């Protein structure tokens, strides 16, 4: 008798868990997709000095075109947390230019290899010139 009660309790718990899982997946299917949080970088207009900066340029080349930045910011990417990842995209470096926008460089790998090339350019005439 005792074994039958235990079996019934276990079966009812399993059925309740299955029902909850089905309800959860139904709620997720009907929920709207989350909005994209990161803004897409805006391409600079043709007359802007930022338009001369191209992906793959080195820091020295960008400094010749735009001069030294007003401020800069360095941060790690999510690839820094991948075990045994030895690629060159572990950090990023942003150069901020007041009234122009930002130039984002690859910062190199975990051991300092590579990096220093333009990854993308963000045109922003409202740029304060200082990291946020």
| Number of domains, the chain | 2
Separation of alpha carbons 25 and 31, rounded Å: 10
Tell me: do 60 and 118 sit in the same domain: yes
Does the residue 128 lie in any domain? Answer: no
pLDDT value at residue 84: 86
Q: For residue 3, what are the domain limits?
A: 1-31
Does the residue 65 lie in any domain? Answer: yes
Does the residue 41 lie in any domain? Answer: no
Please say whether the beta carbons of 50 and 100 come within 8 A: yes
Tell me: do 66 and 110 sit in the same domain: yes
pLDDT value at residue 118: 92
The DSSP result for 60-105, as a single string, is HHHHHHH-S-SEEEEEE-GGGGSTT--SSBSEEEEEEETTTEEEEE
Please say whether the beta carbons of 102 and 66 come within 8 A: no
pLDDT value at residue 51: 92
Question: What is the number of alpha carbons within 13 Å of residue 113 lying toward its C-beta?
Answer: 6
Tell me: do 54 and 26 sit in the same domain: no
Query: pTM for the complete prediction?
Result: 0.65
pLDDT value at residue 36: 45
pLDDT value at residue 4: 79
Tokens of 62: 């960008």
Does the residue 53 lie in any domain? Answer: yes
Give average pLDDT by consecutive 10-residue segment, the chain, 132 residues: 72 69 62 53 84 93 94 90 84 92 84 80 90 80
Tell me: do 18 and 73 sit in the same domain: no
Tell me: do 10 and 75 sit in the same domain: no
């Amino acid at each position: 008798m005792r074994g039958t009660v235990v079996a019934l309790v276990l079966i009812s718990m399993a059925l309740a868990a299955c029902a909850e899982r089905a309800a959860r997946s139904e709620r997720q299917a009907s929920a709207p997709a989350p909005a994209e949080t990161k803004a897409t970088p805006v391409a600079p207009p043709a007359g802007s000095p930022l338009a001369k900066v191209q992906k793959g340029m080195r820091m020295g080349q960008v400094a010749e075109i735009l001069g030294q930045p007003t401020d800069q910011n360095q941060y790690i990417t999510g690839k820094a947390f991948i075990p045994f990842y030895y690629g060159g995209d572990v950090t990023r470096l942003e150069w901020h230019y007041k009234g122009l926008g930002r130039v984002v460089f690859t910062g190199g790998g975990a051991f300092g290899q590579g990096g220093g090339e333009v990854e993308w350019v963000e045109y922003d005439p409202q740029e304060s010139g200082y990291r946020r």
